[in-house]
Amino acid sequence: MSGVTMETGSLDLAVVATSQPPVEYRLCKAFVSSGIIEIAACHLAHTSAAKTQGGHVYMWGQCRGQSVILPHLTHFSCTDDVFACFATPAVSWRLLSVEPDDHLTVAESLKREFDNPSTADLKFLVDGKYIYAHKVLLKIRCEHFRSSLEDNEDDIVEMSEFSYPVYRAFLEYLYTDSISLSPEEAVGLLDLATFYRENRLKKLCQQTIKQGICEENAIALLSAAVKYDAQDLEEFCFRFCINHLTVVTQTSGFAEMDHDLLKNFISKASRVGAFKN
């Protein structure tokens, strides 16, 4: 394949000379008037291509067994792609890189360092298991740790208020800004999020809990939503109970419902017409 870059005025004869098959001179003259800055041809494939000042790439000649007499506008941005796509056999002089992209984004790097004992400077002991973390990141991401770790030089923190899965999910959230817990375990994380005043985590917990609601646990989830002041989840659970009222009122959860919660539920349900015939 041959390629050349020339001034527009000198390309009219070049088009005729390199075209496979040759294009009529008058056609080339009109074509050149668009401002060609690059032209290339492959004798073996009988295919030619040109690029204009506007960045448009044209091809003519043999195209997959068909003869294209007039320059045809393509969607390519460089002439090389014409020969790689349309020529028979395909021609390409550019090297293809097969090296893996091992670059990690900041988010990916932080995610990889979570619970990594080789780089951590702090570990939490929960239910007899260690969770490894980095003080500086915890202080950046969480107001609770910003104050509790300020003058704390200990490298081990014992935690008994929350279970291992819940506390690990909390620490992982600080590294990844996401949670991966079952809807049942997310209730415990909602408790933690409320305790630490982590509003975004609280929203993520509510989204997860919604995915696991059913007639059997709807009242329990409603109770948890009220307890942890999760208003979005509370409204969702209430609407679910109203839409499945017959089944929900026959569950053990409804029978064991807290008196004040039951009173408020009946009052609110009556206001939305749940007991109308």
Q: What is the pLDDT of residue 202?
A: 97
Q: Do domains 105-212 and 214-277 have the same CATH topology?
A: no
pTM for this one?
0.62
Residues whose CB is less than 8 angstroms from the CB of residue 228 and which lie 6 or more positions away in sequence, other chains included: 190, 191, 193, 194, 202
**CATH T-level fold of 214-277:** 1.25.40
The CATH superfamily holding the domain 105-212 is Potassium Channel Kv1.1; Chain A (3.30.710.10)
Per-residue pLDDT of the chain (277 residues; tens, 9 = 90+): 444 433 444 444 344 444 444 444 444 555 556 678 888 888 788 899 998 877 888 999 988 878 888 888 888 888 888 888 888 887 776 654 556 667 889 999 999 999 999 999 999 999 999 999 999 999 999 999 999 998 888 899 999 999 999 999 999 999 999 998 999 999 999 999 999 999 999 999 999 999 999 999 999 999 999 999 999 999 999 999 999 999 999 999 999 999 999 999 999 999 988 777 6
**Cβ contact 102:139 at 8 Å:** no
Q: What is the pLDDT of residue 101?
A: 63
Closest-CA residue to 228 (of 250, 255, 252, 198): 198
Q: What is the pLDDT of residue 91?
A: 73
Q: What is the pLDDT of residue 137?
A: 96
Q: What is the pLDDT of residue 55?
A: 80
Q: Where are the domains of the chain?
A: 2-85, 105-212, 214-277
Task: Give the Cα separation of 87 and 215 in Å (integer).
Answer: 64
